[in-house]
Amino acid sequence: MNTDTDRFDADRFGTVERTPDGGVIRFDRQLAYPVEQVWAAITEPERLADWWTPFETEITADLRVGGTISFTWPDSPPFEFTILRFEPPTLLETTHTSPGAWQRWELEPTADGTHLRTTYFLTDPDLAIERGDIVGLHYGLDRLEPALAGTPVPVDMEAFGALLAAYAERGLKATQLG
């Protein structure tokens, strides 16, 4: 029997760890690009637009501790992340959209490119799963690789839906997006 989960590499799925304070969502990716290139893709507004956002947005970045990375949407409230830690080109940590939440991007050079680890802490992991944060992050990371190759891909809602179904098969449902 072929399921949606079979379409995706098992080691690319995010993990959810529940903690006494909330939970942590983690992704690990091995990217065949140098650290400096991956760093640019996660910090430069024009590069972020290639993979992070599912819709047109204006992105600004004040890259320093206390600075912000902002995403302004045409018909929605903006996302604004405050930079908590900034150690180019290997560590970026910001607040996230939920109160008390933060996300850390760690880049480590390897013989084959870069090991990227992103850790997303939140006080209510069930809410993050329900609204699709884990699926959205997975999908964004999947789009990061072609963006690094210089061939950004547009959002494909069919592929996103298949990823939603694959996470649901794993017991993580995004009811508001599915």
pLDDT digits (tens, 9 = 90+) for 88-126: 999 999 999 888 999 999 999 999 999 999 999 989 877
Residue 46: predicted pLDDT: 93
**Residue 177 has what pLDDT?**
35
pLDDT at 77: 86
Listed residue (159, 175, 177) closest to 4, CA to CA:
159
pLDDT at 129: 74
Best CA proximity match to 122, nearest among 48, 27, 16, 43: 16
Contact 17, 128 (CB under 8 A): no
How confident is the model at residue 2, as a pLDDT?
Answer: 37
pLDDT of residue 134: 82
Nearest alpha-carbon partner for 92 in 82, 77, 78, 79: 82
Q: What pLDDT, on a 0 to 100 scale, did the predictor assign at position 6? A: 42
Strands (E), 32-153: 58-61, 68-72, 79-87, 91-95, 102-110, 113-122
pLDDT confidence of residue 172: 61
pLDDT less than 70: residues of the chain: 1-11, 172-178
pLDDT reported for residue 178: 32
What domains lie within the chain, and their CATH numbers? 4-169 (3.30.530.20)
Predicted pLDDT at 128: 76
pLDDT at 9: 62
| Sequence letter at residue 116 | L
SS3 content of the chain, % helix, strand, coil (to 5): 30, 30, 35
